[in-house]
Amino acid sequence: MSVFSSPSFDHHELVTFTEDTASGLKAIIAVHNSNLGPAVGGCRMYPYANDADALEDVLRLSRGMTYKSALAGLPLGGGKAVIIGDHRKHKSKALLEAMGDFINAQGGKYVTAEDSGTCVDDMKVIGSRTEFVSGVDESQSFGGDPSPFTAYGIYCGMKAALAHKLGSDKLDGIKVAVQGAGAVGRYLSELLIKEGALVFVADINQDNLDRAVELGATQVSVDDIIGLDVDVFAPCAMGAVLNDESIATLKASVVAGGANNQLANVSHGEMLRARGILYAPDFVINAGGIIEIHHQISGTPELSNAHVERIGETLREIFKLSDEQSVSTVAVAEQLAEAKFQKVAEGEVNTDNNFGAAALSAAYTSANHD
Ligand code: NAD
């Protein structure tokens, strides 16, 4: 298993591994870049087929967080953690406490949050061992479940994409295929249905599917969801769903969803453009959760909604530049993000969009990256 030569390594500042035999914890923390601030990103628990898959996932996810926070105008870097194991079988209090110790040992260079396979209650257990955790409880300064904000950002971004592609941001009568009816997919479906969209959902988890159907969505099979004859495909499950095979079957003219790392690789952004499909880059459209976490930590939760709505403006700019320069939306978005976090490395203070930096809490202050 190579690390430095992996394309996903991409100059990571820190990649650290742990194994705690007593609790069964096997985990990796990756910090891609902390030029803009401490690396904040979720802790995913997943039964990876092997260690190489886990490493690849954490590297891609933490890199994505650097780009996401930079483009959302947040004073944060990019990091992520993965726990190797099935959350339904292997998660225990002891394992989460050991994870808390592992995060604490990084001294604040990495701040964790919930992700697929972990939940608010898990963050509370981790939070009993480290202060470097967010999304713990709405009654505490560190906020609650970020999924509704992620869904709201996707909703705003989807409207921007529809306006660009179809000339109107109205959702009434628009057909949307939502892949994955978990936390994000469910909140998103609710927002869309309220405005008259016709929502189709697929999920491997029947309980989650039933909840979405109760909201008014129509159930379709997992195999049919990508190629459904709809206006928008909204991937809200796992990554790499946009690949050679799936892109060829897409009938939607817009892809706008919450899953991280939707493209199997960056060339698929160009493939979507060549097919005339407008792709809202995942790390731009799904930033609502990290924006909310930032405002909770900063003590400015009243600013979250307006900040999340700016995702629509950012996407409008990306779509325009993509058309003007005849390059994929993801290439444009990466260039814009790099300009933000690389400027800081060159000693230039990036003040144009460094949202709320002065309001960062004591937790952030101690989470410096010396
Ligand atoms: P979740 O675990 O609550 O939901 C994911 C859903 O996808 C589950 O219901 C699962 O059964 C389903 N699923 C898995 N494989 C599937 C398949 N092959 N076909 C159809 N459905 C499948 O996770 P979530 O919090 O809703 O996040 C969804 C995605 O969005 C993840 O990729 C996550 O990393 C990303 N994301 C989430 C947030 C957030 O705030 N929760 C923020 C940014 C990005």
Distance 180 CA to ligand 1 centre (A): 6
Give 57 Cα–ligand 1 centroid separation in angstroms: 14
Q: What are phi and psi of 117, to 5 degrees?
A: 90, -5
Q: Are residues 187 and 202 in the same domain?
A: yes
Distance CA 124, CA 131 (A): 10
Determine which residue's CA is closest to atom 33 belonging to ligand 1.
259
What secondary structure does DSSP assign to 75-144, as a single string? S-EEEEEEEES-HHHH--HHHHHHHHHHHHTTTTSEEEEE-TT--HHHHHHHHTT-S-B-S--TTSTT-S
* pLDDT at residue 280, rounded to an integer: 98
> Based on the domain organization, do 255 and 358 belong to the same domain?
no
Residues 64 and 190 in one domain: no
Atom of ligand 1 nearest to the CA of 205: 11
Residue 51 lies in a domain: yes
Domain membership flag for residue 29: yes
Q: Establish how many alpha carbons lie within 13 A of residue 119's alpha carbon, considering only the half-sphere containing its beta carbon.
A: 8
Residue with the smallest CA separation from ligand 1 atom 29 is: 259
d(CA 11, CA 3) in angstroms, rounded, equals: 10
pLDDT tens across 147-179, in order?
999 999 999 999 999 999 999 999 999 999 999
CA atoms within 13 A on the CB side of 317: 14
Atom of ligand 1 nearest to the CA of 282: 44
- Amino acid type, 268: H
**Residues classed as catalytic:** 80
| Boundary (domain end) residue, out of 246, 268, 285 | 285
* pLDDT score of 3 more than 90: no
Q: How far is CA 333 from CA 17, 80, 311, 336, in A?
A: 31, 20, 12, 5
User: Which CATH number belongs to the domain containing residue 252 in this structure?
Assistant: 3.40.50.720
142 located within any domain? no
86-143 tens-digit pLDDT: 999 999 999 999 999 999 999 999 999 988 899 889 999 999 999 999 866 554 444 5
Q: Which residue carries 């209090």 as its tokens?
A: 93
Please state, rounded to an integer, the average pLDDT across all residues of the chain: 90
Mutate which of 67, 201, 236, 296 for ligand 1? The one with the most ligand atoms within 8 Å of its CB, which is: 236
Instruction: Give the whole-angstrom CA distance, residue 234 versus residue 226.
Output: 9
Cα angle 136, 50, 289; round to 5:
25
Ligand 1 center to 326 CA (angstroms): 31
Residues 281 and 294 in one domain: no
- 72-108 in b/e burial notation, b at 16+ Cβ within 10 A? bbbbbbbbbbbbbbebeebbeeebbbbbbbbbbebeb
Q: Is the dihedral of CA 248, 249, 251, 256 positive or negative?
A: negative
The pairing of strands 25-33 and 14-20 is antiparallel
Give tens-digit pLDDT for 293-311. 899 888 899 999 999 999 9
- Tokens read off for 90: 């292997």
Q: What is the mean pLDDT of residues 332-355?
A: 70
How many whole angstroms from 149 Cα to the centroid of ligand 1? 14
- CATH number at 123 reads 3.40.50.10860
Domain that holds residue 232: 147-285
Q: Are residue 204 and residue 173 in the same domain, yes or no?
A: yes
Show the tokens assigned to 73: 């105008």
Q: Are residues 261 and 168 in the same domain?
A: yes
Q: What is the pLDDT of residue 358?
A: 32
Residue 326 lies in a domain: yes
Q: Is 8 within the bounds of a domain?
A: no
Distance CA 310, CA 319 (A): 14
Q: Which residues line ligand 1 (CB under 6 A)?
A: 115-116, 146-147, 150, 179-185, 202-205, 208, 222, 236-238, 258-260, 286, 289
Worst-scoring range by mean pLDDT, 73-77, 132-136, 218-222, 356-360?
A: 356-360
Domain check: are 92 and 54 in the same one? Answer: yes
- Verify that 236 and 301 share a domain, yes or no: no
Taking the CB of residue 56, how many other CB atoms lie within 10 A of it? 19
Q: Are residues 298 and 356 in the same domain?
A: yes
Q: What number does the ligand 1 atom closest to the CA of 185 have?
A: 26
Q: Which of 285, 315, 343 is where one domain is finished? A: 285
Domain endpoint, select from 109, 136, 163:
136
Amino acid 136: pLDDT? 64
Q: Which residue has the higher pLDDT, 127 or 350?
A: 127
The one-letter code for the residue type at 54 is: A
141 lies in some domain: no
User: Does residue 9 lie in a domain region?
Assistant: no
Domain count, the chain: 3
Q: How many CB atoms lie within 10 A of CB 220?
A: 18
Give the ligand 1 atom nearest the CA of 257: 30
Residue 335 CA to ligand 1 center (angstroms) comes to 27
Is residue 89 domain-shared with residue 177, that is, in the same domain?
A: no
302 φ, ψ (degrees, to nearest 5)? -70, -15
pLDDT tens column, 181-230? 999 999 999 999 999 999 999 999 999 999 999 999 999 999 999 999 99
Give yes or no: residues 118 and 211 share one domain. no
Residue found by looking up tokens 């950002």 in the block: 153
- Residue 312 counted as domain residue: yes
Closest CA to 277 of 259, 263, 260, 258: 263
Residues 97 and 66 in one domain: yes
